[in-house]
Chain A
């Protein structure tokens, strides 16, 4: 249920209420959120009958600009192997109201840039309210996810908390649509003074918040193949890695730090710059079922990122994935 695309929109009044509450949570995000999620799981696991599930995903990705580089000389393309396991429980609390809790373990291994190799631990909970009976009744979903990201290069170690509100509706036997808003808070874990570079004392490249909106449509073919198109818009931050000095990035970055994950020539240093950006992400996914519990998926994603002063990036990604659900 986690939306990987992020977008930004002007905020109506009720969204301000959600954001102000979230900002108070931010200050204790590292400790409070995981504890809350674990407690929620424990409490909900007591009374109602629950349905358990386990999802396994194994994928290969080819990314054209993994470093989000502005200059072609800084651009790296690479392939990666991703493995993700999610285990969760679904609780039907009342007619039309359900809660799902889940935990995720994921790992990524890159072919060339092994400094980007990473593991992720995630905990999440989502609440769904279905307005009415039947497959065509709309539903509103609210989810909260906490993730701890750990990378070999350490620079990218961070904790993130995502709050997502979405509306879903099956339009027909073949069409399904979803739209929603996302808020993310990120906090780096290796941005203390002793980790700062000679370029700037401000090195908290992963301390930021993002907001966005997303929409997706899914079409089901009679043979149960699925074609889904999604669009996301994110008003937030992008970390761009480049050889220093890079005056253009230095001038618009909000933080920077040495980036040991990306190799630099002798005598030069690779630096990760955190930039305020707006991103557009388009994704097209083709899912082919293999039996009732397994699917093979091919996806293409295009991301266009714009920072200040005419700095912009583009990267695209091709993924093939095998998913199995128990």
Chain B
């Protein structure tokens, strides 16, 4: 009873919350790495912006996590947990940068700042199959789904909003990527979507007959 009472006290009476259940339209299975962002009026951006420090690691020649959500003006570090060199880069409009050749334990104090909202696609120039994403949200009202395909955004001021959705393999122009929601005081609004995904042509694969000896 006490815990429930405390929980009621932490929810603003002028705000609601929005939950997402994302599914793969082809398989019906929960879909991870789906980002949902509530588009607030521009005059509210500064009020709901909490930059933080995050990290995108490199483990076993892959970016971990594959999709990372941050807010604008956040900083990200790129540690290398592999005992080999990596060369991280991005050509994305939201952020162009390069971290040439560094090994395990290096660049642990180096932070890259992301000041422009949008999707930043990461690659490694040595291991061409490595692909990662950083979604830079305009405000704090964004969430990325986990393996269960679920996400929740709390304390959204009551009102009607456009919601953007993104996934690394979402098909451009998919109408499911834009939704209209109404958030009411103290109430939960549920959003359930199924996304059609493009085929995943992973460059990293088992050895082929004519491949380079190094993977």
List chain A positions with a Cβ less than 8 A from chain B: 1, 48-51, 53, 55, 86, 88, 90, 92, 94-96, 98, 100, 102, 130, 133-135, 137, 170, 173-174, 178, 216, 218, 220, 222, 224, 226, 228, 230, 285, 287, 289-295, 297, 299, 321, 323-325
Contact = CB atoms under 8 A, between A and B. Distances in A.
Interface stretch (B1-9, B27-35, B69-77, B96-104): B96-104
B125 A222 contact: no
Nearest to B212: A1
Given A55-B213, A133-B123, A170 B206 contact: no
Contact of A95 (B91, B100, B212): B100
Given A55-B207, A133-B123, 14 more contacts: A49-B84, A49-B104, A53-B215, A92-B85, A134-B91, A134-B128, A135-B128, A137-B125, A222-B199, A285-B210, A287-B209, A297-B208, A323-B209, A325-B206
B209 A92 contact: no
B210 to A, nearest CB: 5
B13 interface: no
Contacts of B85: 48-49, 92
B208 A287 contact: yes
B89 A134 contact: yes
A130 B125 CA distance: 9
A178 B123 CA distance: 22
Contact of B213 (A88, A173, A216): A88
A318 to B, nearest CB: 13
Interface of chain A, main secondary structure = strand
Contact of A325 (B101, B207, B209): B207
B208 A49 contact: no
Contacts of A287: 206, 208-209
21 contacts: A53-B215, A92-B101, A94-B101, A95-B100, A135-B123, A135-B203, A173-B201, A216-B210, A220-B201, A224-B202, A226-B209, A285-B208, A285-B210, A287-B209, A289-B205, A290-B206, A294-B207, A297-B209, A323-B207, A323-B209, A325-B206
Given A48-B85, A133-B98, A134-B89, A95 B125 contact: yes
Interface string B172-215: 00000000000000000000000000011111111111101111
A226 B201 CA distance: 11
B107 interface: no
A105 B187 CA distance: 69
Interface string B43-70: 0000000000000000000000000000
B101 A293 contact: no
Contacts of B12: none
Given A53-B213, A134-B89, A224 B206 contact: yes
Contacts of A90: 214
A285 B209 contact: yes
Given A96-B125, A135-B123, A292 B204 contact: yes
Given A51-B214, A92-B87, A299 B209 contact: yes
Contacts of A170: 128, 203
A294 B208 CA distance: 9
B126 interface: yes
B160 interface: no
B76 to A, nearest CB: 19
B172 to A, nearest CB: 15
A92 B126 contact: yes
Nearest to A135: B128
Nearest to B214: A90
Contact of B208 (A51, A96, A295): A295
A287 B206 CA distance: 9
Contacts of A291: 206
Contacts of B201: 173-174, 220, 222
Contacts of B202: 224
A133 B209 contact: no
B208 A324 contact: no
A290 B206 CA distance: 7
